[in-house]
Chain A
Amino acid sequence: MQRIDATGYMIAMQRFANPANFLKLATRLTPFAAAIAFILLAVGSYLALFVAPPDYQQGDTVRIMFVHVPAAWMTTFCFGVMAAASAVGLIWGHPVAYVAAKATAPVGAAFTVMALVTGALWGQPMWGTWWVWDARLTSVLIQLFIYLGYMALWNAIEDPVRGAKATAIFALVGAVNLPIIKFSVEWWNTLHQPASIARVEGPAIHSSILTPLLIMLAGFTVFYIWLLLVRMRQEILARRIRTLQLARTRKLQVGEAG
């Protein structure tokens, strides 16, 4: 019945989607991810703080950009991962996909807080205000509430199977905010400036500032991957504990009955 789609890719996906196999792979990959993230963040921070020149207009406040932009990138990237994983979970029913989405949410929320705080600390000296209700800043604040809502929904539903489905639908609906964040600076007049890296004409940043920024972006991304591996392992093991405990209570009940 499933033969039609059983290409090599699907077989690989099925094996990956098996929690036990995933656990083995994740445990092996964790130290590598940690090492790569540490090296990238260390090198990136050194270049950002000591080597990169001050900006011609913004002086040394440009050094806030090296943490602000990666945090803002992770704000959208993490939720993109959650939405994609939720879709995979809903359509193909892979349990590992739901685990990935659930494990990502607090990380994404933390990155959103970082983006908002560093943005305020950059806005005050450069724009003259900590906060404005322009479309970019407002849509990122809404994203924080979407993260918190997603986490609250997981906590609110006790049955893990139903919780997985409900949160997955919530994540897909919440993903509508991602293009709004991205294009807010183009669709509306905002105080926030338009994109500097991901734009049609190519980056508008001099290489001496762009190189450290790209290294920091890579560092934040690998740091997230490492965290994801750690958190997914924890989640899978916690589910195994729950199953074991359930089995044991059942056995006890059977024992008492007999």
Chain B
Amino acid sequence: MAEFFAMGGFAAFVWPAWATVIILMAAIALASLRRLRQTEATLTALESGASIKTDIT
């Protein structure tokens, strides 16, 4: 296992490279999902709110 993490002496290059890719991909995925959820919530609120409004006026 230690040998695996040592990456033949290149651990200082291999692991940061993989970490960069994993972190960036996870970050953009989570940010995109969160924005979609927020937008969906806003739209639902707006659509229900709009119908109430029309009822009142």
Contacts from A to B (Cβ < 8 Å): 49-50, 54, 59-61, 63-64, 67-68, 71, 106-107, 110, 113-114, 117-118, 121-122, 124-125, 223, 227, 230-231, 233-234, 237-238, 240-241, 244-245, 248, 251, 255
Given A64-B14, A64-B17, A227 and B32 touching (CB < 8 A)?
Answer: yes
> Does the CB pair B10–A60 fall under 8 Å?
yes
> Does the CB pair A230–B32 fall under 8 Å?
yes
Residues of A within 8 A of B17 (CB): 64, 67-68, 117-118, 121-122
B15 to chain A, nearest CB (A): 9
Residues of A within 8 A of B32 (CB): 227, 230-231, 234
Nearest residue, chain A, Cβ from B11: A60
A110 to chain B, nearest CB (A): 5
> Does the CB pair A64–B13 fall under 8 Å?
yes
Partner of B13, one of A107, A110, A121: A121
Residues of A within 8 A of B4 (CB): 49-50
Which label, helix, strand, loop or mixed, suits the secondary structure of the A interface?
Answer: helix
Name 5 interchain pairs, CB-CB below 8 A, sorted by A: A61-B7, A110-B24, A230-B33, A241-B43, A251-B57
B13 to chain A, nearest CB (A): 5
Query: From residue 31 to 54 of chain B, which have CB atoms closer than 8 A to chain A?
Result: 32-33, 35-36, 39-40, 42-43, 46-47, 50, 53
Partner of B10, one of A59, A233, A234, A240: A59
> Does the CB pair B8–A114 fall under 8 Å?
no
Beyond the given A121-B13, A223-B25, A231-B36, could you list 20 further A-B residue pairs with CB under 8 A, ordered by the A residue number? A59-B9, A60-B7, A61-B7, A61-B14, A63-B14, A67-B21, A114-B24, A117-B20, A121-B16, A122-B17, A124-B13, A125-B10, A227-B28, A234-B39, A237-B40, A240-B43, A241-B43, A244-B43, A245-B46, A251-B57
Given A227-B28, A230-B36, A61 and B10 touching (CB < 8 A)?
Answer: yes
Residues of B within 8 A of A124 (CB): 13
Residues of B within 8 A of A114 (CB): 20-21, 24-25
For the complex, is B2 an interface residue (Cβ under 8 Å from A)? Answer: no
> Does the CB pair A227–B13 fall under 8 Å?
no
Given A60-B7, A67-B17, A122-B13, A113 and B39 touching (CB < 8 A)?
Answer: no
Partner of A125, one of B13, B24, B40, B47: B13
Residues of A within 8 A of B36 (CB): 230-231, 233-234, 237
> Does the CB pair A244–B50 fall under 8 Å?
yes
> Does the CB pair A241–B21 fall under 8 Å?
no
A56 to chain B, nearest CB (A): 12
Residues of B within 8 A of A248 (CB): 50, 53
Nearest residue, chain B, Cβ from A41: B25
Partner of B14, one of A60, A113, A255: A60
B54 to chain A, nearest CB (A): 8
> Does the CB pair B39–A238 fall under 8 Å?
yes
Given A60-B14, A241-B43, A255-B57, A118 and B8 touching (CB < 8 A)?
Answer: no
